[in-house]
Structure 1
Amino acid sequence: MPTSPCAPTRAPSYAAVLRTPHAARTFGAALLGRLSYGIVPLAMLLAIKDATASYSAAGGAMAVFGAASVLLSPARAALIDRYGPRRVLPPIAGLYAAALCALALAAWRPGAPALALGAPAVAAGLCTPPLGPVMRTLWSGLVPDRELLRRAYSLDGVAEELLYVTGPLLVGLIVRAGRPSAAVLAGAVLVVVGTLALVSSPVVSRGHTNTKAAPAEAPAAPRPVLRTSPALRRTALVTASVGICLGAVELLVVAFTEQRGQAEAVSWVLAALSAGSAVGGLAYGAVRWKSANRMRLAAAAAGMGAALAVAGLSPRLYVLAAAVAVAGLFVGPVLTTGYLIADESVDPARRTQAGAWVNTAFNTGSSAGTATVGLLVERLPLALCFALAAAPALLCAGAPVCPGGRRAGGARSRR
Structure 2
Amino acid sequence: MRISANFDSGNIQVISADSADNIRLAINKDNQSEFYQWFHFKLFGEAGTEHVMVIENASGSAYPDGWDGYEALASYDRETWFRVPTEYNGKELTIRHTPEQESVYYAYFVPYSYERHQDLIQSAQQSVDCYHELLGETIDGRELNLLVIGEPAEHKNTIWVTARQHPGESMAEWFMEGFLGRLLDDEDGVARKLLDNNVFYVVPNMNPDGSVRGHLRTNAVGTNLNREWAEPSLEKSPEVFYVLKRMEQTGVDMFLDVHGDEALPYNFVAGCEGIPSYDERHKDLENTFKAALLTATPEFQTKYGYDLDEPGQANMTVANSAVGEKFKCLSYTLEMPFKDNADLPDEDFGWSAPRSQRLGEDVLTAILAVSPKLR
TM-score, normalised relative to structure 2 = 0.28
Bigger relative CO (Cα 8 Å, ≥ 6 apart): 1
Which structure has the highest strand share of the two? 2
* TM-score, normalised by the number of residues in structure 1: 0.26
